[in-house]
Amino acid sequence: MKKRLWLWNVLAVLTVIICLSAFVMHYKNWTSTDANEMKILSGFYYKKLKFSELDSIKLVEKIPPMERLNGFSVQEKGKGIYREFKDSLTDKNVYVFIDNFSHQKIAVTYQDSLKLYFNFNDSIKTQNTYQLLSAKIPEPPN
């Protein structure tokens, strides 16, 4: 009977735990909202949206074609940091937190030109979040 090294057993268990936790963290978008901002977390990707920096909010059926800098797309999910196809004017990162590509997405423009696309598996939650953010857009000064 061979003696197994306990180290390999520990490494195998840790690997399974790390893989399961990465799956759970990326499984859906985790959000929290307070009076001044909304935080979106999905695995390794995190974005804080201050309501005072919002410029526009709209619902879109599709996101524009972009180059993925890092992140992933699996079945109906897409998460990560993307860049719009380069031209002479745009070289900014776009955050994407899509839980379901077939549902509508919220397109947010903030800090004058930065963009963020996100939605949830539940389209009602997406609609409610859209209404919440629409109400938080600051009024332009007269």
Report yes or no on 3 lying in a domain.
Answer: no
State the residue range of the domain holding 64. 29-136
Per-residue pLDDT reduced to its tens digit, 98-121: 989 999 999 999 988 889 999 998
Residue 110 CB contacts under 8 Å (≥ 6 apart), including other chains: 49, 50, 53, 54, 55, 116
Report yes or no on 6 lying in a domain.
Answer: no
pTM of the model: 0.78
52: tokens are 């005072």
Report yes or no on 116 lying in a domain.
Answer: yes
Q: Domain total for the chain?
A: 1
Per-residue pLDDT reduced to its tens digit, 67-98: 888 888 878 888 889 888 766 565 788 999 99
Strands (E), the chain: 30-33, 37-42, 45-50, 54-60, 66-74, 77-84, 93-98, 105-110, 114-118
| Location of structure tokens 């423009």 | 109
Report yes or no on 121 lying in a domain.
Answer: yes
Report yes or no on 2 lying in a domain.
Answer: no
